[in-house]
Amino acid sequence: MPDWSYHPLKRLVLDKFRPKSSREFIHKSMSTIASIPGGRKFIGFLGHMKPPKEFQKEVNHTTFPSPIGLSGNIDPNLSGIKVFQELGFGFIEIGPIVLNEPNVQKEPRMENSHILFSVDLQEKIPLKRVLQKLTNQNIRIPIFARIDEQVNRHEWDIIVQHLTPFVDAFIGTSQQAYSCVDKTLQRPFYVSLSSDEINNTEIEKLVKHAGIGGIVVTAPRQTLDSYWHEASNANECLANRVKQVNEQHPELIVITCGGVETPEEACALDRAGADLLLLSEGYVKAGPGLPKRIHERLFYEKVQPIKKQNWAWSFLFGLSILIGGIIALYFAFTSIILPYDEYFIGLTRDDILQVNPLILSFMSHDRMALAGTMISGGILYIQLARHGIRNDMHWAKIAFHSAAIIGFIGIFLSIGYGYFDWLHGLFWLILLPIYYFSFREGKRITGAPYSIHGSNDKAWQYGLYGQLMFIILGFMIVVGGIVISTIGVSKVFVSTDLSFLCMSPQMLDRISDNLIPVIAHDRAGFGSALISVGLLVLMISLWGFRKGESWVWNTLATGALPAFIAGIGTHLFIGYTTFIHLRPVYFLVIVYLLGLVLSYPFLKMKG
């Protein structure tokens, strides 16, 4: 559930339910998607959240894909453990773990935008359920098991014995460290301390203990009745404590828990010297995209100057499509059908005009719409090449080539009704070697995105809704392209088409057996072009939204205009203005305008 869907759903629905119900709904829904074939790849497609390889690090002989982890407070029942590794986390904390199911457990509650956790009767998970959840889950990131502070030595031994094959480290109290941890423990043990408990005497004792792998410093808490939530100054206090520990004991591994609601707060802890960070309450407020945003903010601080990549062939590919669209638009406004069309149909342009002039108008409207879509596609490809591929953006390469391959496959749709347009075929034949060299130069594109944005400000919040609008736009264009292509290779016409023509398919067949195949190939070709352009809009919207990326706003603003102008203008030009027929286009225009307005402050904001 990316941020652009999480926040609208949270505001409209989830906040109206108990926190536990909302939490379980989200985690179980995502886990269900991750469980179906291709589900994890679908989640990856939506979020593109895999941590950059530059963040991989080794701590106590354990490799972490990212220093960002998730606290056990967020998923005490392990309902979402299948999916968190797909959301960019480098490790997961589970627990507190007890041997047997507690008789009484208090649910968290929400008050004044804070999640309140129980002080004494917090949610705990029994060992049996932990083992059930961890078995056959194909979890590829490290797991830290937090053992409840109230377990006795006998229970400790049972829990550790059963969990050692499944987890990479244990977390517990200093009392457990002294009474239970010895050289026989096969996993690192991290002592959990609140920020208020940090004092030099305690740290000195822990450092001398042979079985201690490091400490977990928990953000300061504010108590309300029998519940707690993170204090308002949690991040600042936590950063000071981490800095203090690092100055006195630089060899000690320090993990923080909580105190992070924004990417900038994560950077503050990283600068203070934290080795690993566990997200807690702030993750719920900021949304599932927080790990990705933290990676991009950290990467911004660490990234070297951008290595410019070759992009000439990719630019030429987009330019060729743009020029092809302009040529197609010229023919749509002038002769409409070409000599080889006349030869195949068996009628000249004048013959068709004498039978029914609306036939040529109808053919013109499909060809104009195709031309406008090609021009839009050309602009999108050019922008992706110029600003994405040139700047070594891996996501831009994936978007570019995915849409291009779909576009090449679309040529087969245009012959689905038995008519091969040799000019279309020649155009794709010219494009093929250009695309081949574009694909080759794209093999070197491996760079991860980065962003200066570090806050959860209003511009970012509005930007999420703008992003949602563009994602809807791209998705609807893809759906529309699939529908039009399907119609183009099957029944060809919808009812409003026949009403405009004032003719039935049978009447058109009596004019010429080959007239409908010519109309069908234009329609199918237009549909496949829509699918390709829709994918471009969708992937740019999914993966390209970052603070100050004005080129993304410019691309979406200018790239969609030719298709919309051609789509609506051609209908007005020929008089085909049936509201039901144009209703989907009007809806898309509204979504497009909303997307532009809502995303403008975020994408166009500098600094």
Sign of CA dihedral 33, 34, 37, 42: positive
Determine the Cα–Cα distance for residues 82 and 92; give it in Å rounded to an integer: 11
CA separation for the pair 466, 552 (Å, rounded): 12
Strand partners, 224: 227
| Closest residue by Cα to residue 214 from 192, 185, 199 | 192
The mean pLDDT of the chain is 88
Residue 215 three-state SS: strand
Burial 501-511 (b: 16+ CB within 10 A, else e): bebebeebeeb
3-state secondary structure (DSSP) of residue 30 = helix
Domains of the chain: 3-302 (3.20.20.70), 312-445+457-603 (no CATH)
* pLDDT given for residue 305 in this prediction: 64
C-beta atoms surrounding 577 within 10 Å: 11
Single-letter amino acid, residue 221 = R
* Per-residue CA distances from 397 to 325, 499, 545 (Å): 23, 44, 15
pLDDT confidence of residue 304: 66
Maximum separation of any 2 CA atoms in the chain, in Å? 100
Each residue's pLDDT tens digit, 7-25 = 888 777 777 778 888 888 8
Report the amino acid identity of residue 102. P
Tell me the percentage of the chain whose pLDDT exceeds 70: 97
CA distances from 233 to 70, 182, 220, 236, 259 (A): 20, 36, 8, 6, 8
Q: How confident is the model at residue 389 (pLDDT cuts 50, 70, 90)?
A: very high
d(C-alpha 263, C-alpha 265), whole Å: 5
Cβ 323 vs Cβ 379: under 8 Å:
no
CB neighbour class for 329 (10 Å; exposed up to 12, middle 13-18, buried from 19): buried
Q: What is the pLDDT of residue 595?
A: 96
Query: Which residues have C-beta within 8 Å of that of residue 184, sequence separation ≥ 6?
Result: none
Q: Is the pLDDT of residue 607 over 60?
A: no
pLDDT tens figures, 190-211: 999 888 777 766 777 777 776 7
Tell me what the mean pLDDT of segment 285-299 comes to. 91
Measure the CA–CA gap between 349 and 460, rounded to whole angstroms.
Answer: 55
* Mean local confidence (pLDDT), 271-294: 92
HSE of 404, CA atoms in CB hemisphere, 13 A: 30
- CA dist 216 and 268 (Å) reads 17
Q: Which residue type, as a one-letter code, is found at position 64?
A: F
- Give the residue-averaged pLDDT of 406-424: 75
Which tens digit of pLDDT belongs to each residue from 90-126?
A: 999 998 999 988 877 787 877 777 777 777 778 889 9
User: Quick one: pLDDT at residue 416?
Assistant: 61
Give the CA distances from residue 96 to residues 77, 146, 147, 149, 298, in Å, rounded to whole numbers and listed in that order: 10, 5, 5, 8, 30
User: Which of helix, strand or coil describes residue 586?
Assistant: helix
For the chain, percent helix, then strand, then coil, each to nearest 5?
60, 10, 30
Q: What percent of the chain has pLDDT over 90?
A: 39
Mean pLDDT of 29-44: 85
pLDDT of 523 = 82
Determine the Cα–Cα distance for residues 118 and 121; give it in Å rounded to an integer: 6
Confidence of residue 414 (pLDDT cuts 50, 70, 90): low
